[in-house]
Structure 1
């Protein structure tokens, strides 16, 4: 953690030096659930993307007290540490590009730096700066305790799945052999190797495999051997053949969502299913794993009804290839140390595939699911005990251009020469089939469950860096690692297991939230029916009803109204990074666009907008921050004041319109009812609140990019105050990281007409520069530190609700400077970066501890340059006597008509009330003091009279005695 005053000295000029002091306070240390040492990085930050591409980056560990030994700083708890950076190092961004051209090109003068092939040649798919196995080999002994410190850096293409062949890892308590890495993602993985040999460590993303992102590590059989597991389980035999088939991605011929023909002109499916001179259509020759009854491979095993959903899904050969028409027997053992950990679900999802050529083999179709379970989990029929239905879903863009059968498909279906077909611009894209289990546009059969069933979903990812999937289950929620979600993210060679107990009858979609995948057909349907075998579900009882009045209205939105910070940080010139997004010259539109937004009103008359004060101005383009507790009902009274139909649909809540809420036409008012049962709120391992999102779904893609989106949080009962703020935190912020693609907005043509200079008819909408200029890399709809309201005090507990939506480029690694936070993933962990993808909603908790103004940004290189940066401010902790908090950047003007004359002064109603109370209390105090003083006076007067009476009696006694003495 660097103090604020040192940030001014970040720039050290050539020949200079500076000493940075980095402190590691207690609130930055690993949590009890974290590994003993956390992985971080350090790098130059003058222009971070260019500095890092030039090579200035390194690893950093922070450890729990007592882990490091003496001055040597060696760890006591492990035998060896390895540090690995997975990054496509873009030498085009290096400060030394011109020097490298002059030094290493044979003809420097002929180099065109904008040439695509030249740029691609400078993107080095490296592990620690080495490609194609050139990283010096890493060695360890079997039985060693090895800590792997892994991180990614780079750009949108830096989606990495680090795969450790031959060994297993433990990451955050979960068993795996892969680690997902993105720009500024840090992972600490533990390994106790048990398999002697030389093993491949590679990124399993197709493009990165082919470009050389691989290294070797060696496990040596040293004197200390890893304990050997005794195998006492069953022997299970499977007879599997690779069979060539004609595979139909849309066997019904229909888009099951719309009912239209897949080849209908103008439909989203036409590009993939219409057969023409340069389009193969929806049927391809592929290879498929097929199960047979015995070793004769004569009779195929018939699929049961429950297996029909497997589709294209069907042995990883570990370097052994099997020739056509030959057999090979693979023996896979499942010792205890590869099975689920105590933190894992009962069964882990894995994948098997052909690996002669991993890219071509899997693109051809040779892939299947595999499940490894804890002992005693399976019954005699190999089904999980206590699970009613199990489904296996592979989300993958099958790229038929990479298939072994591409040329055969061209000859068979098009009857043309391959070379002429491959030159067509649209040919390659038409062969990228956005499928779930090899089916598109709702054609996957067999996803039928009963209300109340215990359902296990085994989810798999495969493919290239474009295969960033947000698998969303509409209508019901999931539980994963004890956390409540309705989606999970999948990447190439990653797997997930999710549980569902559906309570919402109807037909719902399972789809990829990545918008271009959704449009391209990566969506299927599952049905929930009321079955007689189950007892009727208990009637849900709701206690609280909350009503929101929300209007869709059209506004002029400015993504960057103030450019001072941007010009100071990124320099103002014609070549500045921001120019393409913010300039309205040369046929570009600039920073202003017409958009539709959700805005809250005070009541159903929709006359008075609800003011955004007390920090709510940070919401920016987002709609109102809605909230509820478990057991509530939300009534959303929605008025559409825009010029086209819109709606409101929310993730997580129970909507009884089978996922398709009624659209409101312009001028209409529609009321939506959202129920919040237990399954909508936090799971047992969640924080007290979980984030969701709402948006219009008349056209989910165009509506969202037009601006209609907002945050929702659901909390446990009793967690919130009456204003919706958590009782145990000071501040809550909701941030949407989204590249608003104005090219997909309903208002594109209006914006071209309104904001372009010159004749708007001269604008070429498909022009690459124009298209790029309309992709606004925004946080809550603002660029380059233009978002206000992110202010807190030192010592405040702050909740950040972080939301991801969008398309393939919306890979966001959200980095908080100067502060760390904790997050839940089954247990509690510390970090300063959150990974967001389309359909990802995360909540992190921060104890603000470092006063200053700090950067909060996406760490993807292009997104930094494009302005996905904002500032948050931590104010010094106020003195107790001065505890006056005003988070708002602007104080709303006072209404003079509401003031009251009192003692000659105009006071607001609240001030009058306070003044009267103070006067009343003061009067009571004065009355009590006067009563006390009066009592004292009365008491003293009584005492004085009593003393006088006593003296009088004594005087009389003395007189009497005196007379008696005189008489004697």
Structure 2
């Protein structure tokens, strides 16, 4: 859905409450309205989403919205700020307060109101699902047309903002009968919970934003909208892809293409932006605040990453007067109009001017056209095969044919020159060879001024637009700004950017922050053409006289991006040059377009990136950047060694368009290792490179590690029949047993579909090396489902994994985080073999200084990491600080621990697909089309630990006992998961933050801590709309006290 931005707040009626709080009373009515996404009629970028027609709805849709009234007569509406759009009114409360919401439904179908971030009993949850509650606690589950109900919520201390949180936390409320359809229909609004004394709206001004793709195809009113707004309703095909796309409104608070009523603020004011996203897998948003910077959870940024049910509070003290763009930087969303304007006015409290006492750093940069080779060696350096070898993953990208361009393209590139004459290119050092397609590194410290003289030697208008610095409008590099302009071919322009204190790294940031610059005349086509480079801003005194970071031996810059050559300005030139034909003559089928999507790191694929060489013990800084479309969900993984980011130990980080990360590594493991994207389809398509760690000899040998504990696991890979949904009563009650149940496509075994049962391979633990006696899953371990055993170790341990392969094909076990001596490529065990793996757990495998006492990792088979994982071979691993575990592996200060894997198991990529078709299809194999869209979708099982629709047992805990949740994400582009716990909040990371949603992506492993305080059976689910309907839901049970038997 859209982005929410708020400026002033209404103070609701207050009445006394217990414990020093107040009771805040809201009268909300649900009304059906006609909502116009573009009331001005302006069409800045595209007409497909706005123009009505015979089979197009246009920009106006019937919706249901929450409206606020003065009292129980519901006759006098309380007006709200115009920029709230179709969002409901702001509900806010302080710690100790009670919120009473009197909800009356004036709409034509049942709805509810369900909150995030507050405490509620079962009778005020506002969420319809089978939870075994008595009928007197189910009245809140549906407010029927003409009916009303009063919901009571509280904000106790354990739901309050923590010391590390901002003064007010951002949450939402929404209808939850069928949450995806209710929200798409318009029923959503903002909710704030504040620290004591911080809830008075007039003390500080704030802005809020909700970004989402409002999918009107999911709305309850789709048929009504077709009938009302299409001029020929009978001609509409609701399954037509173009019709469906026209109904996906890329909105901020329900407005597109700059139609959000303008938000204004004074320079020097404190502004809180309360941002949240909702929606589907395409709702990967990077909210970019041009002209200013933000602080989010103590870190400096100018972007906020938003996903379905992600809530962000961003603090800003604006200092740069002007009208600035607020936009989503995902390519598809830019084109579809997800942008608005905000204005910073001088007023009387203009921010104090920063005094710049640093250096003036000059750069001479040109845009130059080059022939770029994504695979200059001609080899896939991981397999040793030719990039053009028939049947290889690289073939579709590199083999040139009548309608395929191959691996070389005309592109534009930023190139550095020695001086203002632009006659001599600056020679790259050996340490810069890895930059590839990236432009030169621009560096500065706080207090510096950056002067960039830019010459456009290309044949299209281009510019340079930076993140992370301060600039006036004329130096923004954006054509859409008031005074910004493009640099025409063979012209030049000088940009001047400054680095005042208020854009520099925060105390909790690393010494140098990673940013990016790019051409923004067309912010989609320019970067797709190649014009992008790294920009680094450091704390004062961090850089030496050679512009190197002090205390760092090597600095590397890596851009993870699917370069879509179909969006490049040079597509036609490439067709003419390499195919010898006109663009109009090319058959632009899906195969042609996919062959031009180059899954690259710095513009190289399949191991062709040069220059990533380090010495054992080097202090290495990795500057990581993301760019591209909603498919650019990257899990950047460093095999063989671990990273530290913001004091937390990881071996991966997630990157999205226009997001950046700075990671520190001190490698201790000699060898050649992969850097790759964990997103499985990106890995398969060549987003894999190598770095090497050598002894070098210039340093004293590191002291030998001392390991004190040895823990041995006996693990077998065995083939089983796995049922994703052995029990369907809950699912049928949830969806009223409808023949149109969302689950049918996944669970039905009729019409050639396979149903819920599949042959799979799983890891199972045994008691000893005879592999005769399986180790029973007791004491809650049954929740592991399809996962292998929950392995654990403390820092200083050695793990011996005795692995027997009882399956019918080769498999192995590889773990993230630990020290393996096989350069990350463990020995494969053939069927019947027994192999012992040794995993060492040095300090760098355990928690970082800002981590909790234990951190999660994951293990899986690496013979074919994609097909092996989808076949079922995956399990959890935790590594803890020395001395924090009991003998049974549970933390001494925690009663229960659960590990959950959120993964769409794609059975189409399993080794056992053909066997499953033969066994479960109930049709002749020749009648089954393995590429049929419905068949392919039916085999994508949206599972939590391999179970759908509340079929996962064992998630039982007791009120007042600490619980640790280890949450794991793997998979492909669709594996964007936002894990929501009903009724409970949790804290995570040593800088403790409060939330009830965790974001997971491929390669993301998070641990959160919960103190359950709300007895009942509650829903735990992924908040992505499609994933809810597809069954990514389970129940957890919080009981009042443990009964000892």
Question: Which TM class, normalised by the smaller chain length?
Answer: 0.7 to 0.9
Q: How far 1:570 moved relative to its partner?
A: 1.6
1:801-880 alignment runs, 5 A limit: 801-824=966-989, 829-870=993-1034
> Take 2:590 and 2:217, find their aligned partners in 1: how far apart are those partners?
26
Q: How far 1:422 moved relative to its partner?
A: 4.0
Q: How far 1:182 moved relative to its partner?
A: 0.1
Over 3 Å counting, the alpha-carbon distance change for 1:961 and 1:712 in structure 2 is: closer
Give CA deviations for 1:673-726 in whole Å, capped at 9, x if unaligned.
Answer: 000000000000000000000000000000000000000000000000000000
Over 3 Å counting, the alpha-carbon distance change for 1:3 and 1:376 in structure 2 is: farther
Q: How far 1:114 moved relative to its partner?
A: 0.8
Q: How far 1:320 moved relative to its partner?
A: 2.0
Contact 1:2/1:818 (8 A) holds in 2:
no
Q: How far 1:121 moved relative to its partner?
A: 0.3
> Take 2:588 and 2:672, find their aligned partners in 1: how far apart are those partners?
42
**Equivalent position of 1:253 in the other structure:** 378
Structure with the higher helix share, 1 or 2: 1
Contact 2:324/2:481 (8 A) holds in 1:
no
> Can you give the 5+ residue segments of structure 2 that lack an aligned partner in the other structure?
1-131, 198-211, 439-479
Give CA deviations for 1:276-331 in whole Å, capped at 9, x if unaligned.
Answer: 01110000000000000011111000000000000000x99983200101111100
Give CA deviations for 1:493-529 in whole Å, capped at 9, x if unaligned.
Answer: 0000000000000000000000000000001000000
Contact 1:141/1:222 (8 A) holds in 2:
yes
Give CA deviations for 1:799-848 in whole Å, capped at 9, x if unaligned.
Answer: 00000000000000000000000011xxxx00000000000000000000
Over 3 Å counting, the alpha-carbon distance change for 1:224 and 1:602 in structure 2 is: same
Q: How far 1:4 moved relative to its partner?
A: 11
Contact 1:316/1:353 (8 A) holds in 2:
no
Report SS of the residue matched to 2:361. coil
> Take 1:961 and 1:294, find their aligned partners in 2: how far apart are those partners?
68
Give CA deviations for 1:183-211 in whole Å, capped at 9, x if unaligned.
Answer: 00000000000000110000000000000
Contact 1:682/1:716 (8 A) holds in 2:
yes
Contact 1:4/1:851 (8 A) holds in 2:
no
Report SS of the residue matched to 1:710. strand
Contact 1:317/1:355 (8 A) holds in 2:
no
Contact 2:677/2:688 (8 A) holds in 1:
yes
> Take 1:422 and 1:196, find their aligned partners in 2: how far apart are those partners?
49
Over 3 Å counting, the alpha-carbon distance change for 1:715 and 1:419 in structure 2 is: same
> Take 2:856 and 2:946, find their aligned partners in 1: how far apart are those partners?
19
Q: How many residues align?
A: 854
Over 3 Å counting, the alpha-carbon distance change for 1:132 and 1:343 in structure 2 is: same
> Can you give the 5+ residue segments of structure 1 that lack an aligned partner in the other structure?
67-86, 871-959
Give CA deviations for 1:440-462 in whole Å, capped at 9, x if unaligned.
Answer: 00000000000000000000000
Contact 2:605/2:686 (8 A) holds in 1:
yes
Report SS of the residue matched to 1:419. helix
Q: How far 1:761 moved relative to its partner?
A: 1.9
Tell me which moved more, 707-716 or 325-334.
325-334
Q: How far 1:378 moved relative to its partner?
A: 0.2
Q: How far 1:564 moved relative to its partner?
A: 0.4
Over 3 Å counting, the alpha-carbon distance change for 1:966 and 1:207 in structure 2 is: closer
**Equivalent position of 2:946 in the other structure:** 781
Give CA deviations for 1:648-674 in whole Å, capped at 9, x if unaligned.
Answer: 000000000011000000000000000
> Take 1:6 and 1:171, find their aligned partners in 2: how far apart are those partners?
39
Report SS of the residue matched to 1:766. coil
Give CA deviations for 1:906-962 in whole Å, capped at 9, x if unaligned.
Answer: xxxxxxxxxxxxxxxxxxxxxxxxxxxxxxxxxxxxxxxxxxxxxxxxxxxxxx999
Q: How far 1:117 moved relative to its partner?
A: 0.7
Q: How far 1:796 moved relative to its partner?
A: 1.1
Give CA deviations for 1:440-497 in whole Å, capped at 9, x if unaligned.
Answer: 0000000000000000000000000000000000000000000000000000000000
Give CA deviations for 1:344-386 in whole Å, capped at 9, x if unaligned.
Answer: 0000000000000010000000000010000000000000000
Contact 1:3/1:850 (8 A) holds in 2:
no
Contact 2:1015/2:1040 (8 A) holds in 1:
no
Over 3 Å counting, the alpha-carbon distance change for 1:338 and 1:606 in structure 2 is: same
Over 3 Å counting, the alpha-carbon distance change for 1:8 and 1:530 in structure 2 is: farther
> Take 1:634 and 1:120, find their aligned partners in 2: how far apart are those partners?
51
Over 3 Å counting, the alpha-carbon distance change for 1:666 and 1:18 in structure 2 is: same
> Take 1:46 and 1:833, find their aligned partners in 2: how far apart are those partners?
19
> Take 1:967 and 1:570, find their aligned partners in 2: how far apart are those partners?
37
Contact 1:161/1:493 (8 A) holds in 2:
yes
Tell me which moved more, 220-229 or 668-677.
220-229
Over 3 Å counting, the alpha-carbon distance change for 1:962 and 1:664 in structure 2 is: closer
> Take 1:420 and 1:145, find their aligned partners in 2: how far apart are those partners?
56
> Take 2:297 and 2:784, find their aligned partners in 1: how far apart are those partners?
33
Q: How far 1:3 moved relative to its partner?
A: 12
Give CA deviations for 1:548-606 in whole Å, capped at 9, x if unaligned.
Answer: 00000000000000000000012223311000000000110000000000000000000
Over 3 Å counting, the alpha-carbon distance change for 1:326 and 1:25 in structure 2 is: same
Contact 1:650/1:693 (8 A) holds in 2:
yes
> Take 1:271 and 1:787, find their aligned partners in 2: how far apart are those partners?
40
> Take 1:738 and 1:478, find their aligned partners in 2: how far apart are those partners?
24
Contact 1:319/1:356 (8 A) holds in 2:
no
Contact 2:803/2:834 (8 A) holds in 1:
yes
> Take 2:1033 and 2:508, find their aligned partners in 1: how far apart are those partners?
36
Q: How far 1:225 moved relative to its partner?
A: 1.0
> Take 2:195 and 2:279, find their aligned partners in 1: how far apart are those partners?
29
In the superposition, the TM-score normalised over structure 1's length comes to 0.87
Contact 2:986/2:995 (8 A) holds in 1:
yes
Q: 1:49 aligns with which of 161, 175, 180?
A: 180
Over 3 Å counting, the alpha-carbon distance change for 1:8 and 1:417 in structure 2 is: same
Over 3 Å counting, the alpha-carbon distance change for 1:843 and 1:964 in structure 2 is: closer
Give CA deviations for 1:738-765 in whole Å, capped at 9, x if unaligned.
Answer: 0000000000000000000121221000
Over 3 Å counting, the alpha-carbon distance change for 1:604 and 1:16 in structure 2 is: same
Larger Rg: 1
Q: How far 1:262 moved relative to its partner?
A: 0.2
Contact 1:142/1:224 (8 A) holds in 2:
yes
